[in-house]
Structure 1
Amino acid sequence: MSLEIRKIVRFEEETLIEGYKAAETPLRMFAVAAVVKNPWAGKYVEDLRPIVREYGPQLGELLTAKISELAGGAENIEAFGKAAVVGLDGEVEHASALIHTLHFGNHYREAVQAKSFLSFTNTRGPANAPISIPMMDKNDGGRRSHYLTLQFNINDAPCADEIVVVLGGASGGRPHHRIGDRYQELKELGHDIENPAAV
């Protein structure tokens, strides 16, 4: 079964003023989404892996190239995340299947030279459902300045038999971030930064 993409959607926002104060450096957040035919819609399929292995690399390569272009180069992406929304004739497992695979995500992680995992959402909804992409620093999961969420929607997707697969990115952290990071709190709580579970 070949991958069928109905449309590609790009979304971008640029924050110039936050909290009544101009941003020293405007924050750009952006996303690229592929609206794809759900190969498992309307039926229960036990083994999703064959199609995951077929679709994952194609979607990963395509969306990584497009979001890198939107960012003006992969090196300009500091925070990243992913999301999928499956239409009403599918399962949340279908959304999960296409984004929770190294066949998909490693294209993006390697392009931005990331060490962190890709934060994510996977949900089910109708056309115009909210798409929410949580993001974190590509190299430092404890850097709270880069805990971001990009939200948008596509007025005609997903149809009942579709899945929207999304990569998101940001050019930096929140303007005027001032809540510190988790490492200072670990110290305050008496935890070992190298082994946070240890007391």
Structure 2
Amino acid sequence: MPDFPLRKTMILIEDIHHEGGPPPALPRRRAAILAVVKNPFAGTYTEDLQSAMDDLKPLGLMMTDRLIEAMGGIKGIDGYGKAGLAGEGGELEHTALWHVPGGYAMRERLGAARAIVPSAMKVGGPGTRIDVPLGHINAAYVRSHFDAMEVGIPDGPRAGELLFALAMSRGGRIHHRMGGLAVEDVKGEDGLR
């Protein structure tokens, strides 16, 4: 059983009050939580990585709970995404360990979330930034929710570390007007429409 000791977490909250045009009735909130953990696979090639995803599920649940709290509660959260970043000695496939734990945790806590959780993965050193893609939680074709939140930690990931991120949003882009499936028309049956 691989060990992923947690070095630090960071929470970022962004309230968007204006984007040109008339001010929205309510600001749009986006928030992200980042965690830096030891990468037990750094510097080696390991054939079977998939089983280690289960070891990260408690981290995913803890991060999701803290992120929902930062969002001011579950009500109205309708966008999500995840990202992973491997530090020196790590490989891109190590970031893929986050697919199940990050997505599973948000889906479990948000309830009827049917859409795939968008994700981004890359390799980089301390201070590397990554865009966490965001999409609607129940329907991938909701264009108003296509977005990204840039995140990073100044001192991570260091060599032998992984940085994992989760992000959530409440509402679509301010003044979205690119058509597509409207939120009120989401059926949420297949995660697409």
TM category, shorter:
0.7 to 0.9
Using the alignment, how far apart are the partners of 1:118 and 1:27 within structure 2?
20
Moved more, 43-52 or 169-178: 43-52
Aligned equivalent of 1:107: 105
2:25 is paired with a residue whose SS is strand
Using the alignment, how far apart are the partners of 1:53 and 1:110 within structure 2?
15
Summarize the alignment of residues 123-134 of structure 1 with structure 2, pairs less than 5 Å apart. Answer: 123-134=122-133
How much is the aligned-residue C-alpha RMSD, in angstroms?
A: 1.8
Aligned equivalent of 2:143: 144
Using the alignment, how far apart are the partners of 1:153 and 1:60 within structure 2?
18
Using the alignment, how far apart are the partners of 2:174 and 2:131 within structure 1?
20
User: Segments of 4+ in structure 1 off by > 4 A?
Assistant: none
Q: How many residues align?
A: 182
Structure 2 portions without partners, runs of 5+: 183-189
Aligned equivalent of 2:33: 32
Aligned equivalent of 2:69: 69
Summarize the alignment of residues 20-59 of structure 1 with structure 2, pairs less than 5 Å apart. Answer: 20-55=21-56, 57-59=57-59
Equivalent pair of 2:38/2:161 in contact (CA under 8 Å): yes
Using the alignment, how far apart are the partners of 1:10 and 1:112 within structure 2?
19
Q: Which amino acid aligns with 1:52?
A: M
**Cα shift at 1:182:** 5.2
Using the alignment, how far apart are the partners of 2:170 and 2:35 within structure 1?
21
Using the alignment, how far apart are the partners of 1:107 and 1:39 within structure 2?
22
Residue by residue over 1:65-115, the C-alpha shift from the partner in whole angstroms, topping out at 9 and shown as x without a partner, is 111111122233110000011102100000012x122x4421211211201
Residue by residue over 1:155-198, the C-alpha shift from the partner in whole angstroms, topping out at 9 and shown as x without a partner, is 00110111111110011101111111158xxxxxxxxxx9x9xx
**Cα shift at 1:23:** 2.4
2:27 is paired with a residue whose SS is strand
The percent of aligned pairs where both chains have the same amino acid is 33
2:68 is paired with a residue whose SS is helix
Equivalent pair of 1:24/1:175 in contact (CA under 8 Å): no
2:55 is paired with a residue whose SS is helix
Equivalent pair of 1:15/1:23 in contact (CA under 8 Å): no
Using the alignment, how far apart are the partners of 1:122 and 1:172 within structure 2?
25
Summarize the alignment of residues 113-192 of structure 1 with structure 2, pairs less than 5 Å apart. Answer: 113=111, 114-181=113-180
Using the alignment, how far apart are the partners of 2:169 and 2:82 within structure 1?
12
Equivalent pair of 2:79/2:169 in contact (CA under 8 Å): yes
Equivalent pair of 2:82/2:102 in contact (CA under 8 Å): no
1:85 is the counterpart of 2:119: no
Equivalent pair of 2:83/2:119 in contact (CA under 8 Å): yes
Q: Which amino acid aligns with 1:105?
A: G
Structure 1 portions without partners, runs of 5+: 184-193
Using the alignment, how far apart are the partners of 1:53 and 1:105 within structure 2?
12
